[in-house]
Amino acid sequence: MKSIVRKLLVTGAVVASTFAFAQADKIVMGVSIPAATHGWAGGVVYWANRTQAELEKQYPGIKVVVKTAGSAAEQANQIQDLQTVNKINTLVILPFESAPLTQPVAQIKNKGVFVTVVDRGLTDTSAQNAYVAGDNPGFGKVAAEFMAKEMGGKGDLVILRGIPTVIDNQRVDAFNEVIKANPGMKVLDAKHGNWNRDDAFKVMQDYLTRFKKIDAVWASDDDMAVGVQKAIEQAKRSDVKLVIGGAGAKGYVKKVMDGDPIVKANVTYSPSMIADAMKLTADARVKGAEMPATTIIPSVLITKENAAQYYFPDSPF
């Protein structure tokens, strides 16, 4: 995987690893992630396990322990066990939820564990040493720019939003800024599909009933795009010329690769960011080097020309 050698956007102050380890010292890294409750989370589990093996091969002596949790409460208990039972001195965590995990993570950090938080930020950033995430504003901006170009700056479109969250707001606000700069484009409606294909199917059914012409759909997630396309096919509508999802699910990257007539692009927000976080953290800890306080992984437009670089057929997502 080429993820940590591709360009990363680093922001914020650079934080030193409080516990600088020499190469020969023992590093025990706990990796705490949600269970594979949906496609993207399944991808996180896949990349975490894959990277565990890579790191233990790359750095002889390092120990990586991966744990998955089906709830915030289970995850809080697991990270306590990682510290007391597995004796971790490094934690990479993608919180199941932000608020319930903030205090448990802070307690781990206060016991001397170096903490890297991934994707879902904590409510108190002092509970972490470093933060690694995807570029949510970029996710919306890149999708809108492609849509505007593909539509020639004009046409009617609908939006399917995710779960009501700060992340969703960032994506949609950035998307809308681009659309506003193209006065020939009109957003007919924007409703929450909750990053769920069944919910998205129902929202799209409603759109197709209410609007007799829809030129394009921004589904803002590949799982939602599945529901969108199912609704379009069932309604036998031929007016929709473009559907853009996002996150780089292998099924949708394959559609782009194969030249699907309405799925012409995708935008990365890969679950492989857990691998980036693990590799960046391990590299800094092994070398006793400084790690950026914040690392943002850019959202990249996936087209037929570069889709093969983002297609991982063995991944569950």
Enumerate domains of the chain plus CATH numbers: 9-134+270-297 (3.40.50.2300), 136-267 (3.40.50.2300)
In this prediction, residues 28-36 reach a mean pLDDT of 94
Residue in the block written with tokens 């699910």: 249
User: Greater confidence, 148 or 290?
Assistant: 148
Quick check: 20 pLDDT over 60? no
Quote the longest CA-to-CA distance of the chain: 67
Quick check: 82 pLDDT over 60? yes
Q: What is the pLDDT of residue 23?
A: 41
Least confident of 34-43, 75-84, 253-262: 34-43
Length of the chain equals 317
Q: What is the pLDDT of residue 97?
A: 83
Strand pairing report for 63-69 and 9-16? unpaired
Residue 242 identity (one-letter amino acid): L
pLDDT digits 0-9 by tens, 185-202: 999 999 999 888 999 999
End-to-end CA distance of the chain: give it in Å, rounded: 16
| Separation between Cα atoms, residue 55 and residue 301, nearest integer Å | 29
Q: What is the pLDDT of residue 194?
A: 86
Q: What is the pLDDT of residue 41?
A: 83
Residue 52 in tokens: 């565990």
Structure-derived torsion over alpha carbons of residues 97, 103, 104, 110, reported in degrees to the nearest 10:
140
Q: What is the pLDDT of residue 8?
A: 57
Quick check: 21 pLDDT over 50? no
Quick check: 229 pLDDT over 70? yes
In this prediction, residues 48-63 reach a mean pLDDT of 94
Per the prediction, the chain carries an average pLDDT of 90
8 A C-beta contact, residue 16 and residue 25:
no
Q: What is the pLDDT of residue 16?
A: 44
Q: Predicted confidence band at 280 (pLDDT cuts at 50, 70, 90)? A: very high
Residue 56 identity (one-letter amino acid): E
pLDDT digits 0-9 by tens, 84-137: 999 999 999 999 888 889 999 999 999 999 999 998 888 899 999 999 999 999
Q: What is the pLDDT of residue 271?
A: 87
